[in-house]
Amino acid sequence: MSETRRGSWKDSNWYVSMSGFFREYRKHRIGVFGIILMFFFLVMAVGAPWIATNDPSPGATIAPTFMAPVWMQVFDPNAVVSKEYMTDPYLADAPVFEYRGSPDEFSYAHHASTGSSDPSYVNLTWTHEAYHPLDFVVPPIPLSDMPDCRDFVFFNKTLEWTPEKMPNDVNITIEFSMTTTGNFSTNENGGLMFKLYIWLIDSSGNWKMVYKSFPPYSSVTQSRNIDLSWFDILAGWGGMVPDPVTGAQPEDPTDLLTIGVGLAPTKEFRYFGGEFPWRTYNGSVTAKVSKLSVFCYGNYYGLLGTTDKGADAWSQLIYGSRVSLTIGVLATALSTVVGVIVGLVAGYFGGKVDEVLMRVVDFLLVIPGLPLMMVLAAFLGPTVENIIIVIAILGWTGTSRLIRSQVMAEKNKAYVESARAIGASDTYIIFRHVLPNVTPILFANITLGVVGAILSESGLAFLGLTDPSKPSWGRMLADAQGSGGFSNGAWWVVVFPGLMITSLSLAFTFVGHTLDQVLNPRLRER
Amino acid sequence: MGLREYVIRRSIYMFLLIVAVVCFNFFLFRLPTLVLGVSPVDLMISEEMRRNLTRDMLEQLYFRFGLVPDPDIFDWIYMFWRYLVNMFTGNFGLSFISGQPVIDEIMGRLPNTLLLMGTSSLVAIMLGIWTGVKVAADPGSRKDVSAVTVALFIYALPIFWFGMMLLMIFAVYLPSVTGGLISFPLYGTIDTELWPTIKDSPFGGLIMAGDILHHLFLPMIALGVGGYGGYFLYMRNNLIDVMTEDYILTARAKGLDENQVLYKHGLKNALLPMVTVIALTFGFLINGATLTETVFTWYGLGRYIFTSLFQLDYPVVQAIFMIIAITAILANFVADLLYGVLDPRIKYA
C-alpha cells in the first residue's frame, strides 16, 4: 500500500516527492494550525487516563451538581475552595487527647506509621470493671449534643477556616474499627453500651454532635461518610463568618474549628431491659481510628466544574475525545473503502454495473440523512460499532461519485490502454494504475469526511443515541440541555463540550481544505 | 434527444425511485417485527390484556396499524399490499401516540418548519451570494482569506451547539444584564399566555405574528449561519472559476469596467449552478432541522421525527420519511429541468 501511495506522488506532474508536497503544504498557515490541533487531540485521546482527574463515566457523582470550575475563583475573592481541610487526615501526628469527668476507666494511644504497610492510627479505650461508678446524666437528655455519660475520652484536631463564607457542603469521612472484649463481646446487647461520637467544637466552646455510631461493630476497619446537614454546617462554620444578610461580625473569636472524636458509655449501660449492665459487665472497648477527613465544598470544583449529575466535567471532556476520534476516523475509513470500491467498479466497468450502482447512490441521496441515522441507530442499538456503521452507510455516496468521475477520466488514457494491451487484468489495472492516480484527490475528501462523521456522532449523541456508559461531547451537551444547565447559569457545561467538537472538526476542516488547495489540480491552476 | 424525451425518461426514472423508497420504507419500519418479532401492538397492550381479547378483537387492533398477528409469509405479502395501496392513496394511518390521522399531525407542524427553514435558508443564500461575490472579485486577498476561514469555521461548527450558545446569551444572560430590555424566549414556537390577548384584541393577528417572529429569530439565526458557509464557498468558487473563462477576458478586452465585468458577465453565469443548489435546498426544506428544532423546542417536523421515533410511533416516522423522500426526488427533477431552461447551452443526454 505504501508503495502505491508513494507511486502516486511520483506520477503526479507537480510533486516529485513527499518533501515537495510538504514544502507546498507548509505555505498554508491554517493547514499547519490544523495539523497541530489534530496532534493536540490525539495526545488528549491517548493520554486520557493520565490527563483525566476522575472517573469519566457520566453517572459518577463526586461533588454537588453544577459546581463552577476552580479558576472562576479569581472573580470571587471570598471563594471557598473545594478541598480537604483537615491537615493530616491520616493521623500521622498525635492529635490532642482529652478526658471529660473521671479518667479512671479511659485511656488512649497514638501509633505513628512506620511504613506503607503500617498506617498510623489512634486508639481510644474504655475498660470497665463491674460496679465501677460512672457519672451518668440522669435523667438522660434527649437529642443532646453530649453523650449520656459525663465520663469519656476524646481526641480532637483543629482546622483553620480562612474564607469569610460558609462551605456549601461538608463531607466528614471516618475510618474506624471496634475491638471488644469481655461482656462487651459476649453479651448480645454489648454493642449498645458505647458509642463513637463526632463533634464540631467551635472556638466559643459550643459542641455540635454530627455523628454517633450504631452497632453492629467489627474489628475490620470500615469507612463512614457523613454528609453534614445545613444545620450542622451552620453550627460549626456559622460563627466564623460574618452574617451573610446583616454583615454582623462573626461571634467566634478565632477562625478555628475543632473536630472531636470520642468514645463514651451510653444510657443503656446504666439501665437496660430491667438490668443494670454497669454492675455486671467486665471488659474493654477499643476504637481504632485510622482516618478523619473533612472535605468542604465551595461553589467550585475541578478544572471544569461538575455536571448535572455531580460528575467531573474535565474527565468527561478528556475521554470524550476518544469517542469522537474513534467514530470520526473509523466511520470515514469504512465509508471511504466502500466508496472507493463502488466508484472504481462503476467508473471502470461502466454500463449496467455503473447504472445499478449509481441508482443506489441516487436512492441514498434522497433519503433524509439524520432521520435515517436516527432510525438505524435506534433499531440496532447505539453502541460505538453500530454508530460507526450507521454513519458509514450514508457517508460513502459522495466518495463513490468523486472516484467514479476521476476513473472515467483516467480509464481512456494511453497508459491504461497499453497496460490492457500487454494483458494486465482488470483488478491489476484498477489497483495498480487507476487507483494511485485518483488518490491525491481522495485525501481532501477523507479529511472532510471525518468532519461530517464527528458532527453526525455528536448530533446523534445529543439526541441520546450514544453508548450510555461512555462519555461523549454530544452527550454532555444533551445533559446540559436536558437538565436546564445554562438556564441555571452553569455556562461551563455548555461552552466547553461544544468548543471541543468545534475545534476537533475545525482541525480536520483546515487540513482537508489545505489538502484540497495543494492536491486538487483544478484549484492549483488558479 | 429532445426535451420531451428527456422529461419522459426522467419521469419514469423518478417513478421507479419513488417505488424504491416506498418499498425500503416498508422494510425499514418493520425491521423490529421482522428481526425481533416485536410489533407495535405488543408495546401498547400487556400480556394480560392480550389474553383477555378475543381473536377477532386482536385482529381488529392489529388491522388498525396495518398489521396481522403472528404473520406468516402470506400475511407479509398481504401487509405489503395494504401498505402500498395506503401509500399511493395518501392514507398514512393513525399515530400510535395521539390516535389522530398522521397526515393531520404533520400538517399541523408543516407551516412552522417551512417558516423556520424558509427564512433561514433565504438569509443564508442572500448573505452567501452577496459576500461570495464581494470576495471573489479579488481572490487571495486578505478579505478573501479571512472570509474563507470564517466559512470553514462555520463548516466545522455544530449548529445545535451554536443554537444553545445563542439561547444562553440572548435568552438567559442578556435579559438578566439589561433587565429584560433585550429578551428572547427560551423555548417554544408561540407564547400560550398571549392567547387571551390575541383573541380579545382587534389586532390579534399582528400580535400573534410579532410573537412568532420573536420566537423565530434565534433559531433562524442559528440555521442561517449554519447554512451560510456552504453557499458562500459555492458562490465564491463558482465565480472564481467563471472569472477565468475566455468570455470574461473578451469583456475586459472590450474595455468594460471591472464592476460591469463582475456583475454582468461573471455573476450571471456563476448564479446558474447556484439556482440548482437552491432548488435542491428547497426540496429538503421539509426535512426540517431535527437538532436545532430540538434545542429551541420548535414545534416542527424535525423534532416530530425525533420524538415519534423515541415513542415508537412508526406510522409518523414512516410518513415523514415518505414525504421527505418524494419532495427531494421532485426537487431533483425540477432542478435538472430548471438548469436546462436557464442555460440554453445544456444538451439533454
Closest by alpha carbon to A498, among A485, A488, A513? A485
Does the pLDDT at position A304 exceed 80?
Answer: yes
- Residue B245's closest chain A neighbor by CA? A526
Dihedral over Cα of A315, A321, A322, A327: its sign? positive
Mean per-residue pLDDT, A149-158: 91
CA angle B92/B336/B109 to nearest 5° reads 30
pLDDT of A9 reads 42
Residue B28 burial (10 A CB sphere; 0-12, 13-18, 19+): middle
The pLDDT tens digits of the residues spanning B223-274 come to 999 989 989 999 998 898 888 888 888 998 988 888 888 888 888 888 888 8
Q: What's the number of CA atoms in the CB half-sphere (13 Å) around residue A219?
A: 7
Interface residue of A38, A366, A520 to substitute, partner B, most B CBs within 10 Å? A366
Q: Which three cell numbers stand for residue B216?
A: 423565530
pLDDT of A526 reads 43
CATH 3.20.20.70 is right for the domain spanning B102-342: no
Amino acid symbol at B102: V
User: What is the number of CB-based contacts under 8 A between chain A and chain B?
Assistant: 116
SS (H, E, C) A166-224: CCCEEEEEEEEEEEECCHHHHCCCHHHHEEEEEEEEECCCCEEEEEECCCCCCCCCEEE
More reliable by pLDDT, A320 or A55 = A320
CB B318, CB B25: distance < 8 Å:
yes
pLDDT of A522 reads 60
The verdict on whether omega for the bond into residue A103 sits within 30 degrees of 0, i.e. cis, is: no
Interface residue of B27, B146, B160 to substitute, partner A, most A CBs within 10 Å? B160
Min distance A455 CA to chain B CA atoms (Å): 6
Closest by alpha carbon to B84, among B149, B22, B131, B129? B22
The pLDDT tens digits of the residues spanning A262-274 come to 999 998 898 888 8
Min distance B75 CA to chain A CA atoms (Å): 23
CA angle A306/A58/A226 to nearest 5° reads 60
Beta bridge partners of A16: none
pLDDT band of A17, cuts 50, 70, 90? low
**Torsions phi, psi of A443, nearest 5?**
-60, -50
Beta bridge partners of A296: A83, A170
> Using CA atoms, how far apart are residues A248 and A256, in angstroms rounded to an integer?
18
Mean pLDDT of chain B: 85
Domains and CATH numbers, chain A: 24-57+306-525 (1.10.3720.10), 83-297 (2.60.120.260)
Min distance B204 CA to chain A CA atoms (Å): 31
pLDDT band of A172, cuts 50, 70, 90? very high
Per-residue CA distances from B325 to A400, B14, B223, B231, B298 (Å): 21, 11, 21, 23, 22
CB A479, CB A485: distance < 8 Å:
yes
Nearest to A462 among B160, B244, B310 (CB): B160
pLDDT band of A154, cuts 50, 70, 90? very high
Residues 6+ apart with CB under 8 A from A233: A166, A167, A169, A170
The pLDDT tens digits of the residues spanning A469-515 come to 889 999 999 988 888 777 777 888 899 999 999 999 999 999 999 98
Does the pLDDT at position A2 exceed 70?
Answer: no
Does the pLDDT at position B96 exceed 80?
Answer: no
Q: Which three cell numbers stand for residue B338?
A: 430548471
Mean per-residue pLDDT, A186-213: 90
CB B10, CB B336: distance < 8 Å:
yes
pLDDT of A191 reads 87
pLDDT of B137 reads 83
Q: Which three cell numbers stand for residue B44?
A: 401498547
Residues 6+ apart with CB under 8 A from B7: B337
Nearest to B324 among A368, A379, A464 (CB): A368
Q: Which three cell numbers stand for residue A404?
A: 467514479
More reliable by pLDDT, A88 or A317 = A317
pLDDT band of A16, cuts 50, 70, 90? low
Beta bridge partners of A177: A288
DSSP state of A140: P
Nearest to A491 among B168, B294, B328 (CB): B168
CB A473, CB A454: distance < 8 Å:
no
Nearest to A509 among B155, B158, B165 (CB): B155
More reliable by pLDDT, A293 or A437 = A293
What ipTM was estimated for this complex? Answer: 0.89
Give per-residue burial for A343-370: e unless 16+ CB within 10 Å, then b: bbbbbbeeeeebeebbeebbbbbbbbbb
> Using CA atoms, how far apart are residues A164 and B310, in angstroms rounded to an integer?
49
User: CA A483 from chain center: how many Å?
Assistant: 18
Helix axes A435-462, A492-519, angle to 10 degrees: 170
pLDDT of B347 reads 66
pLDDT of A3 reads 39
The pLDDT tens digits of the residues spanning A397-413 come to 989 988 898 888 888 88
Q: Give the DSSP H/E element, type plus range, for residue A524.
A: helix A521-524
Most confident of A113-117, A272-276, A314-318: A314-318
The pLDDT tens digits of the residues spanning B273-296 come to 888 888 888 777 776 688 999 999
Which alpha helices (H) appear in A202-280, and where do they start and end?
A: 230-237, 267-270, 277-280
Contact: A486, B172; criterion CB under 8 Å: yes
Q: DSSP of B74-93, one letter per residue?
A: HHHHHHHHHHHHHHHTT---
pLDDT of A444 reads 83
DSSP state of B267: I
pLDDT of B1 reads 58
Nearest to B17 among A366, A371, A491 (CB): A366
pLDDT band of B48, cuts 50, 70, 90? confident
More reliable by pLDDT, A5 or B197 = B197
DSSP state of A138: S
pLDDT of A433 reads 80
Q: What percent of chain B has pLDDT over 70?
A: 94
Does the pLDDT at position A7 exceed 50?
Answer: no
Cα R_g (chain A), whole angstroms:
35
The pLDDT tens digits of the residues spanning A38-86 come to 999 999 999 999 998 888 888 888 887 888 888 888 887 777 877 888 8
Amino acid symbol at A298: G
Q: What are the boundaries of each domain within chain B?
A: 3-88, 102-342
Mean pLDDT of chain A: 86
CB A333, CB A71: distance < 8 Å:
no
Dihedral over Cα of A87, A90, A93, A99: its sign? positive
**Torsions phi, psi of A417, nearest 5?**
-55, -50
Interface residue of B13, B34, B161 to substitute, partner A, most A CBs within 10 Å? B161
pLDDT band of A321, cuts 50, 70, 90? very high
Contact: B290, A370; criterion CB under 8 Å: yes
Contact: A363, B305; criterion CB under 8 Å: no
> Using CA atoms, how far apart are residues A104 and A218, in angstroms rounded to an integer?
26
Does the pLDDT at position B29 exceed 70?
Answer: yes
